[in-house]
Copies of this chain bind each other. A is one copy, B any other.
Amino acid sequence: MNIYNKVSQVRNQVKEWKRAGLSVGFVPTMGYLHEGHESLIRKAASENDKVVVSIFVNPTQFGPNEDLEKYPRDLKKDSLICAGAGADLIFHPEIEEMYVKDACTSVNMNGLTDGLCGKSRPTHFSGVCTVVTKLFNIVPADKAYFGEKDAQQLAIIKKMVEDLNIDIQIIGCPIIREEDGLAKSSRNIYLSPVEREAALVLNKSLKVARKAIEAGVKNTSDLKGLIVDMIEKEPLAKIDYVEIVDSRSLKEVDFIEENVLVALAVYIGKTRLIDNFTYFI
């Protein structure tokens, strides 16, 4: 498995594969891979002849007070995980290879980016849309794989691909969790043992909400109340948002009448974690 850091190298390799009639799957990541990423790579390997994984901590999707500098990195371990899960190529560019000094073009979206994580991270999704557009142009794959943990990101990328006629199929893959229910995340490494325990409240409160919906509660302010009450009982937790939105438009709904995304972001100490589930009518 090769690790390339130049745009031209990875593009030429992928185009060579395509010319040879091979299908290509692509898994864009920020590295520090965990079993969530691994599941994406395995899925890509099962559906394509070749698999490219990109590892790039994209500065333009971090806000000024976010964790860009300390975002965890471990290329050696990442390479082993990629190879083990069936990747054929890692694209690991430097920032200068991805952004020329006078870069001034961005890809932007209205609506889908306004709520949820977009509210507290106002420039985040412009950074995501721009880098993913770039990566799709560098790696002209047939299919690209994204985790459902970043539910808003997945919805946004699907919409961007539709709106810009990008010739790639977007595949969402289920959230992978620790045995005790915590969603796998590169940021879990920031948690102290005590915070790690407190972080269980994200998934636990979502489970309570799901049970309530299944028991017939359809009023979303009641449901959000259940989640908020439970999280507020956890002293180390501070809510960023708890939202129930239409799963496609990501617009808030008062009653559950269509498929909904129940999503939350919670600070555990200084670490911002997200989790969600989609309830299908």
Contact = CB atoms under 8 A, between A and B. Distances in A.
A45 interface: no
Nearest to A160: B105
Given A130-B164, A134-B164, A138-B165, 20 more contacts: A7-B165, A11-B167, A100-B163, A102-B249, A103-B163, A104-B109, A104-B111, A104-B163, A105-B107, A105-B109, A105-B159, A105-B160, A106-B109, A107-B107, A133-B133, A134-B165, A137-B165, A137-B166, A137-B167, A140-B140
Interface string A6-38: 010001000000010000000000000000000
Interface of A: 7, 11, 19, 100, 102-112, 129-130, 133-134, 137-138, 140, 159-160, 162-167, 249
Q: By DSSP majority rule, is chain A's interface helix, strand, loop, or mixed?
A: mixed
Contacts of A163: 100, 103-105, 134
Contacts of A164: 105, 107, 130, 133-134, 137
12 contacts: A11-B167, A100-B162, A100-B163, A103-B163, A104-B109, A105-B107, A105-B109, A105-B129, A105-B160, A133-B133, A134-B165, A140-B140
A103 B107 CA distance: 13
Q: Which of A104, A109, A110, A167 has the most CB of B within 10 A?
A: A104
Contacts of A162: 100
A106 B108 CA distance: 5
Q: Which of A104, A105, A130 has the most CB of B within 10 A?
A: A105
Contacts of A167: 11, 137, 140
A165 to B, nearest CB: 4
A105 B164 CA distance: 7
